[in-house]
């Protein structure tokens, strides 16, 4: 009945409808023209360029709670949440006050501070597999450092990753990655030497036989297997517990390290992240986003034995001028203290799950080809999906045509999603039931238009 997205048919159907008035983007348009003179594509991160949706990117002026306002004073219920860090919403009082207090004492010292110890202890307290850790300034830096450590610890060179999993923009991991690369229809990046790519083995998700075959084909060569806690940069590809546990066993059997990239899932699914969700113990874990309370931060950690290879204790070198930045540490401490309160995740996750379930019920009642894949407070609109999607190859690129219309209609109704159909959405503690009901009504209307006459 629905088939693939047909641009000509959709445009004809759309032109016959009375739609919500387009939001004004005049000020954003002016700023974007100025930005294009300064930055490649007019942006400082590719997906922000709105290439896969319509119109110019919105320039955001402020955020409060679950809302953001752009430079044209349009107000939106925000489900991007800065791509995940803002689990408490925008401009949370405790985080804001902690940042101000930290800044009043100085912004950076290039020397140890008490705040590094405090945030590290909060992380270690809830994650027993993290005996020691090292702070860095981004998730990409955390993963890059963990990969180097895995190679230094094992004395092996090859890394096994999964198709569609995104681990930042380090050279060796931009091979069949997700995030902005998929948005722009690419699976590798120019500028990555073939020699680097040859050290990266790529396997499909949800296929244990492919992993076993890789170890068979490369005996004693694979230093580590790296996987997102729950792949969330190329759709929300929720893996089954048995698969993740077998992956852990396979790494142990072949003396390879298991690196769990929890940059998104860490402290988002719960205080113990995806490791707790799947009941597995990774050898190394990477964090970012939530642990910084909205400030730039990342960290990697693992057993004392493995982390003992990091300089100055061991031969694997890694350093950073702004690592453990006191302002970022203060923001992270404030956020994690709130998160460890009684029933925080129970309340957040139940609210998010009901939000996602109610949208799927609406779509099912109308026979729309839409699945809402969700876990905890993450969700993803999977258009033209006949069943749950667990691997990147199962996503039909043509389905992104649905998202393009859907995204425009949501903006016109005051709801902001990340500008790519491959990216996930986030519910925060600041999303009240009232605001979620408003968002649902907007989503229902947008879906009606998206699927009109299909």
Q: Catalytic amino acids?
A: 166, 261, 289
Q: Are 452 and 13 in contact (CB under 8 A)?
A: yes
Phi-psi region of 371 (alpha: psi -120 to 50; beta: other; left: phi over 0): beta
Q: Can you tell me the distance from the alpha carbon of 433 to that of 246, in angstroms, rounded to the nearest whole number?
A: 39
Q: Which segments of 226-325 does DSSP mark as H helices, in order?
A: 241-253, 273-278, 304-307
Q: Is the dihedral of CA 404, 406, 409, 410 positive or negative?
A: negative
Q: Is the dihedral of CA 358, 6, 79, 118 positive or negative?
A: positive
Q: Can you tell me the distance from the alpha carbon of 420 to that of 234, in angstroms, rounded to the nearest whole number?
A: 10
Distances 337 to 94, 227, 266, 361 between C-alpha atoms, Å: 10, 28, 15, 35
Half-sphere exposure of residue 35: CA atoms within 13 angstroms, side-chain side: 18
What one-character-per-residue DSSP string does 149-164 give?
A: HHHHHH---EEEEETT
Instruction: Read off the tokens for 434.
Output: 């009232």
Q: Are 336 and 297 in contact (CB under 8 A)?
A: no
Helix, strand, or coil (residue 121) = helix
Residue with tokens 């590809």: 237
Q: Are 160 and 225 in contact (CB under 8 A)?
A: yes
Q: Are 69 and 61 in contact (CB under 8 A)?
A: yes
Residue with tokens 């691997």: 391
What is the Cα 338 distance to its own chain's centre? 21
Q: Which segments of 62-198 does DSSP mark as H helices, in order?
A: 93-105, 114-126, 139-154, 180-183, 194-198
Percentages of the chain per state (helix, strand, coil), in multiples of 5: 45, 15, 40
Residue 406: in which H helix or E strand, if any?
A: helix 400-412
Instruction: Read off the tokens for 150.
Output: 């895995």
Q: Are 342 and 359 in contact (CB under 8 A)?
A: no
């Amino acid at each position: 009945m629905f088939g693939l997205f047909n641009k000509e048919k959709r445009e004809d159907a759309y032109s016959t409808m009375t739609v919500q008035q387009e939001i004004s983007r005049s000020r954003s348009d002016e700023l974007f023209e100025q930005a294009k003179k300064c930055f490649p594509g007019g942006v400082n991160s590719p997906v922000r360029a709105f290439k896969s949706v319509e119109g110019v990117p919105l320039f955001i002026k402020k955020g409060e709670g679950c809302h953001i306002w752009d430079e044209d004073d349009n107000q939106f219920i925000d489900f991007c949440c800065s791509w995940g860090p803002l689990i408490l919403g925008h401009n949370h009082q405790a985080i804001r006050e902690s940042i101000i207090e930290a800044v009043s004492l100085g912004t950076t010292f290039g020397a140890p501070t008490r705040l590094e110890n405090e945030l590290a202890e909060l992380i270690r307290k809830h994650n027993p597999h993290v005996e020691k850790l090292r702070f860095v300034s981004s998730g990409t830096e955390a993963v890059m450092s963990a990969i180097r450590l895995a190679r230094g610890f094992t004395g092996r060179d090859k890394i096994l990753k999964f198709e569609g999993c995104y681990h930042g923009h380090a050279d060796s991991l931009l091979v069949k990655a997700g995030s902005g690369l998929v948005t722009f229809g690419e699976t590798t990046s120019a500028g990555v030497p073939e020699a680097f790519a040859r050290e990266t083995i790529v396997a499909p998700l949800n296929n244990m036989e492919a992993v076993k075959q890789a170890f068979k084909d490369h005996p004693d060569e694979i230093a580590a297997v790296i996987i997102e806690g729950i792949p969330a940069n190329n759709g929300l590809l929720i893996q089954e517990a048995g698969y993740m546990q077998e992956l852990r066993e396979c790494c142990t059997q072949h003396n390879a390290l298991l690196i769990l990239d929890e940059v998104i899932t860490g402290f988002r699914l719960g205080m113990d992240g995806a490791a707790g969700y799947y009941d597995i113990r990774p050898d190394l874990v990477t964090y970012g986003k939530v642990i910084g309370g909205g400030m730039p931060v990342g960290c990697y950690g693992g057993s004392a034995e493995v982390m003992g290879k990091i300089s100055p204790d061991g031969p694997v070198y890694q350093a950073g001028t702004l690592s453990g930045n006191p302002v970022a540490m203060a923001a992270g401490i404030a956020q994690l203290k709130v998160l460890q309160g009684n029933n925080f995740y129970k309340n957040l996750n139940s609210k998010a799950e009901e939000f996602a379930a109610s949208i799927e019920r609406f779509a099912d009642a109308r026979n729309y080809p839409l699945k809402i894949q969700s876990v905890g407070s993450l969700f993803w609109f999977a258009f033209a999906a006949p069943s749950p999607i667990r691997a990147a190859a199962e996503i039909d690129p043509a389905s992104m045509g649905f998202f393009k219309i859907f995204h425009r209609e949501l903006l016109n109704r005051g709801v902001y999603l990340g500008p790519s159909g491959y990216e996930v959405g986030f519910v925060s503690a600041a999303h009240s039931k009232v605001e979620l009901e408003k968002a649902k009504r907007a989503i229902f209307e947008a879906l009606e238009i998206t699927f009109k006459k299909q």
